[in-house]
Amino acid sequence: MEEKFGVDADQFAALVLHQLTVIGEHDAQYHPADFKIVVGSLDLYLSNIFRETAQLPAAERDGRIANFVASVKDDDEPDTWPAVRAMLRPILRPNTFGINSAADGMRPITRPALPFLDELVAVDRPHSRSIVSTATLRDWDVSADEVFAAARENLTALVGSGGYQGSGLIRFADNGDGYCTSWPLVPGWLVGSGDGTHRPIAFIPDVDTLIIVPDVDDLSGLFDQIERQYREAVRPISPQAYTVDDNGTVIPLDQFPDHRHRALAQRARCGLAITEYSAQSAALAEAADHHLAYPGHDDLAPAFAGSLLYATADTGPYTATIWGKDVEYLLPEADRVIFCTEEDGQMTTLFEAPFPAVAEIAGLTPIPNMVPRRYEVRHWPTPETLARLEATAIPR
């Protein structure tokens, strides 16, 4: 039986330092407080690879570490637009990926791909992958549109647009070079995948896994498996199911009205939404506590970053958020809004209303450039507005 990996963080760092000496890097410095190793001007952060290799056999662990430290040599590669254009690949990440980047220039360039998911661009070097940031665009003197177009073009050239034909469950496990979780971004790829008889359903629980199944009767076990994998992943993407509409466009499965798996798809959608808003709430609270301002929103006065709640009804799972009296909110976009008052420490629920109706009647508009979307709420509705809101209330 092969030895299993069971070292602590400092011992793991020692293994990485040893591999660095093997490739000729003798001046690397370990910084335990940040759990990183500094090699010249390069910071090697160890948290992700430490968790990813925690249960691997020794031989596989050592191979992963060797590949990881080889990225030091990639740092010497040319970094100009002509040199990197062919290396660009699109990648999917949750909205809150990189949300804690301290400097604006370090934030990745993004564009919306699917609800709570963004498309980013990676530079695929022989032993490493870097994410294109706004600062990178300035260095290359190109636009974000040019970078996204080149990345899509390169991926399409690699995988084609005809999809992958096969019956039953098809699982792709990425080794870091295949970018399988990006394949559904290629127009026509998902619609051409599967058994050719049933509408394909795709799952992307983490950065290394793509699963495609036919739209058959019982998928409850698979949904449970995907949810577990998503929650346990070091680098999760989504627990949702995705399919194609009649035009071949990739959409979340919950957007199909009256679909037989809609309740399962709604639960997955709620899980993704709650996870993303929770990460955003934590980042906003930390920014307000330490900087008294929000990154990219210096003029936005601090307020309570409302949370999403998970609830169920006869129509299936849904998300809700609370609008309480005498509290200033950055309100998340939920399915429903619960209006509450508090007196003598007792919370009283007045009514629950659909979010679209609340936004229209209360005149809520999204805060510009905040993803996931939030709405600035500084005042309790007037009696007239509250009466109009209550008229839209959902019966209990």
Name beta bridge partners: 131: 122
Asked if residue 8 lies in contact with residue 32, where contact means CB atoms within 8 angstroms, the answer is no
Helix ranges, 23-57 (H): 47-52
- Both structure tokens of 314: 């006869």
pLDDT of residue 2: 40
The pLDDT value given to residue 1: 32
Higher pLDDT, 160 or 102: 160
Query: Token pair 């370990």 is at which residue?
Result: 30
**pTM of structure:** 0.84
* Per-residue pLDDT, 75: 60
Nearby residues of 60 by Cβ (< 8 Å), 6 or more positions away: 53
In residues, how long is the chain? 396
- Confidence class of residue 345 from pLDDT cuts 50, 70 and 90? confident
- Which among 24, 23, 28, 26 is positioned nearest to 39, based on CA atoms? 28
Domain boundaries, the chain: 9-74, 81-159, 170-260, 276-390
Cis geometry, peptide bond prior to residue 372 (ω within 30 degrees of 0): yes
Report residue 95: phi and psi, to 5°.
Answer: -50, -40
Within 8 A by CB and 6+ apart from 187, the residues are 161, 248
Contacts of 175 (CB under 8 A, 6+ apart): 208
Residue 328 in this model has a pLDDT that exceeds 80: yes
Least confident of 16-20, 89-93, 148-152, 270-274: 16-20
Q: Computed from CA positions of residues 157, 162, 166, 169, in that sequence, does the dihedral angle turn out positive or negative?
A: positive
Three-class DSSP category at 64: helix
- Model confidence at 104, pLDDT cuts 50, 70, 90, reads low
Return the axis-axis angle of helices 383-390 and 355-362, rounded to nearest 10°: 150
- Is pLDDT of 4 > 50? no
Task: Give the mean pLDDT of the chain.
Answer: 90
